[in-house]
Amino acid sequence: MTFGPNPWQQTSWDARAAGNFMCGGAGAGLIVFVAMAEASGPALTGLMLAGLALVGLGLFSVFLETGRPLRAVNVLFNPRTSWMSREAFTAALLFAVGGAIALGWTHNAWFAAALALVFVYCQARMLRAAKGIPAWREPMVVPLVVSTGLCEGGGLFLLALPLHGTGTLWLLAVFGALLVARLLVWFAYRRRLAGALARGAAVALDRAGWLLQIVGTLVPLALIALIVIGGISGDRVPLFAAIAGLMAAAAGSYLKFTLVTRAGFNQGFALTHLPVRGQAR
């Protein structure tokens, strides 16, 4: 079904659109963690380039989705009202600042982190602007997408910990706090949508939510707690931190993939008043 009184799944955004949210959010979150870790030298260069590459890959995914790719430049023409235009302009600034940091022209990664936060916020507002899709128009989708992007980025930062070795117990604690915040936001988001979703959307979101709770939150939190209290020490710390990061990032990416591709059901026709023959309006 493509239209009618019953909800139907949108077909405008597919896996390529989901790739923008998955890669772009993870890349932006990684840049934020690079700034928090105060990385320097090769670690700063490598992680910053990795974050920018993910953002670029996400934008390229959207480019592939457009029916007429040569018209993609039109996205730049309406920044006053379009969150997609604002995302594009923010990405341009992020590439410029992040590139300067990677080239060693400046070592202040906090400006790039601020732009990365704005970028992932624009992504969240793009979903929020789809008023006809209950799972997207819910206001809690904004903190859900932002917190998920930060957790994905933090997960990738920990995944690469054996390579760069710039992690600290404080940063692990921040990552754990973000996992808890994401889970609380998820519970609030799902509770507010109770009874408002099509059955297919509810089933898909609940499956992704279960994965987020167990694989993406509880297990990584347990590993982080063991590291912080000293249950895991020495050479095993980077390995177990990388496992926790991978699980948290993978679960977050799956949640966003599900949100865009499988939970994107339109509400159907909403007729608040039905005319009755023979009666005045």
- Residue in 224, 28, 45, 35 with CA at minimum distance from that of residue 145: 28
Tens-place pLDDT, residues 96-119:
999 999 999 888 899 999 999 999
Structural domains in the chain plus CATH codes: 15-261 (1.20.1630.10)
* Element holding 13 (H helix, E strand): none
b/e per residue 171-202 (b: at least 16 CB within 10 A): bbebbbebbeebbebbeebbeebeeebbeebb
How far separated are the first and last CA of the chain, in Å rounded?
32
Burial class of residue 1 in the structure, from the number of CB atoms within 10 Å of its CB (0-12 exposed, 13-18 middle, 19+ buried): exposed
Is the confidence at residue 216, as pLDDT, over 80?
Answer: yes
d(CA 95, CA 48): 10
Tokens of 44: 């700063």
DSSP 216: I
124-147 tens-digit pLDDT: 999 999 888 999 999 999 999 999
Q: Return the DSSP state at 75.
A: G
List 265's β-bridge partners, or say none: 9
Task: With a cut of 70, say whether residue 274 has pLDDT above it.
Answer: no
pTM score: 0.91
Residue 14 CA to residue 10 CA, distance in Å, equals 9
- 203 pLDDT above the threshold of 90: yes
**Would you say 246 and 157 are in contact if contact means Cβ atoms under 8 Å apart?**
no
Task: Supply 54's token pair.
Answer: 């993910």
- Given pLDDT bands bounded at 50, 70 and 90, which one contains residue 168? confident
| 55: confidence class by pLDDT, cuts 50, 70, 90 | very high
What angle (nearest 5°) sits at the alpha carbon of residue 220, between those of residues 125 and 215?
70
Mean pLDDT of 208-229: 96
Residue 133 CA to its chain's centroid (Å): 18
Residue 215 corresponds to which tokens in the numbers above?
């694989």
DSSP 265: B
Reference 228, options 170, 165, 156; nearest CA is 170
How many Å apart are CA 210 and CA 177, to the nearest integer?
Answer: 19
Contact 134, 201 (CB under 8 A): yes
230 compared with 179, residue with greater pLDDT: 179
Query: Taking each helix axis from N to C terminus, what angle separates 141-159 and 236-261, rounded to the nearest 10 degrees?
Result: 150
Q: Identify which of 63, 55, 136, 60 has the alpha carbon closest to the alpha carbon of residue 99.
A: 55
Report DSSP state, residue 9: B
- Looking at the predicted structure, is the pLDDT value of residue 221 above 70? yes
Asked whether 58 and 90 are in contact (CB, 8 A), the reply is no
pLDDT at residue 31 tops 70: yes
Considering the chain, what is the average pLDDT of its residues?
Answer: 90
Question: Residue 9's beta-bridge partner residues?
Answer: 265
